[in-house]
Amino acid sequence: MSCLVWNCCGLGNPCTVNELAKMVQAKDPSVLFLVKTWADEDRLKDVKRKIQFENMFVSPRTSRGGGLVLFWRSSVDVSVEESDKSHIDTIINKNKESEWKFQSPWLCAGDFNELVRGDEKLGGSRRSHNQMLDRALCTTDWLNHFAGTKVVHLTCNTSDHSPLWIASSGIDPLPSSKPFRFEEMWMSDKGCGRVIEAVWRGSFPYEAKRQVIRKIEKCGAELTQWSRKNFGHVRRQLIDKRKCLLQAEQQQEKTLWLVDGDKNARYFHIRATQRHRKNKILGVKDSSSAWINQLEGIAETFKNFYQQLFESSKPTLGLNSMVKVFMVWEVEVAQK
């Protein structure tokens, strides 16, 4: 997985869009973040079709300036948490072990308009603010998690800002990711059919055979997002419900024991019988590995086992050897 971040200074110029398309084709990013688009949503949809991304989130421009847009492919699980005119806060692989945030406190990238050191400024009067600086910043935890990350400043001709290409083998999708599976429960909602029909009626700039494969992939991605919004994480909910049910059963069992455990009631006898059945010894093996299941034989086997266990292999010298004459002062000390 890789990310491309660029302050494009407007997408109204066809040259800028063409240059963006060439960068996307060369670097093949999974996530694309553009700053200062100076474009409305219809124009951004045209750009989305040209660069062939499946998903888009727009932070609208104010008046004729500003504007942010985030594009991402269906192979990446992106959840937009919040946004305003200056940032889009997202989480990659939300609620998974590989979860990370594209914005602070994990990784933050874009045009910061701020100097870190004085030697970053070339020419002009010495200033520390309002400088066009494009960079990516991350926390130590994020860098430790994705140690192979590299940030490359690319060259461009249509903007005075350098595109940032953030690439790392450490954030590639896990090869063990689960394939798409159609859930039967989706058929209970009419929205499922509408999603499939909408994707299947769409057109893709591919040959006929490739269009079918592309529509199937698109249908799976759209159904996954639709299910997340309408059904949520069903398997996780089932796990949580099972835990709650188990806790409720355990609590009920404790309550019943407190209420009825000390009474001569059916519940007390059931628990006592269960404990007796669990602790009952039905049979044992003797020293010759013969199975003994008679009550008298079991008792005799235990008796013999512990007699042999505590017998000494070296006989004692007798009690006479333990007799010793004590001195008078020793007796007096012992009596005090």
More confident residue, 6 or 127: 6
Handedness of CA 169, 170, 175, 179 (dihedral sign): negative
Mean pLDDT of the chain: 77
User: Is 97 within a domain?
Assistant: yes
The pTM assigned to this predicted structure is 0.45
Q: Output the pLDDT for position 318.
A: 47
Q: Output the pLDDT for position 66.
A: 83
User: Is 255 within a domain?
Assistant: no
Mean pLDDT of 181-199: 87
What share of the chain in percent tops pLDDT 70?
Answer: 72
Residues 210 and 147 reside in one and the same domain:
no
User: Is 267 within a domain?
Assistant: no
Residues 199 and 61 reside in one and the same domain:
no
Residues 166 and 88 reside in one and the same domain:
yes
pLDDT band at 58 (very low <50, low <70, confident <90, very high): very high
Residues 201 and 153 reside in one and the same domain:
no
Q: Output the pLDDT for position 129.
A: 39
User: Is 272 within a domain?
Assistant: no
Type of residue found at 180: F
Q: Which domain holds residue 293?
A: 282-336
More confident residue, 21 or 98: 21
Residues 198 and 297 reside in one and the same domain:
no
Is pLDDT at 329 greater than 80 in this prediction? no
| 36 neighbors 62 (Cβ within 8 angstroms) | no
Is pLDDT at 71 greater than 90 in this prediction? yes
Residues 188 and 167 reside in one and the same domain:
no
| 66 neighbors 85 (Cβ within 8 angstroms) | yes
Residues 199 and 167 reside in one and the same domain:
no
pLDDT band at 69 (very low <50, low <70, confident <90, very high): very high
Residues 188 and 157 reside in one and the same domain:
no
Q: Output the pLDDT for position 46.
A: 92
Q: What are the angstrom distances between the C-alpha of 40 and each of 14, 77, 81, 82? A: 15, 25, 22, 19
| 269 neighbors 251 (Cβ within 8 angstroms) | no
Structural domain total, the chain: 3
- 39-43, 75-79, 171-175, 251-255: range with lowest mean pLDDT: 171-175
More confident residue, 80 or 119: 80
Point out the domain boundary residue: 132, 150, 171: 171
Residues 28 and 102 reside in one and the same domain:
yes
Residues 144 and 189 reside in one and the same domain:
no
- What is the CATH number for 42? 3.60.10.10
- 18-32, 113-127, 307-321: range with lowest mean pLDDT: 113-127
User: Is 319 within a domain?
Assistant: yes
pLDDT band at 51 (very low <50, low <70, confident <90, very high): very high
pLDDT, tens digit, 9 for 90 and up, residues 280-320:
788 888 888 898 988 888 889 988 888 887 775 554 544 45
Give CA–CA dist 300/304, Å, rounded: 6
Residues 33 and 125 reside in one and the same domain:
yes
Mean pLDDT of 256-278: 63
Residues 90 and 11 reside in one and the same domain:
yes
Mean pLDDT of 20-29: 90
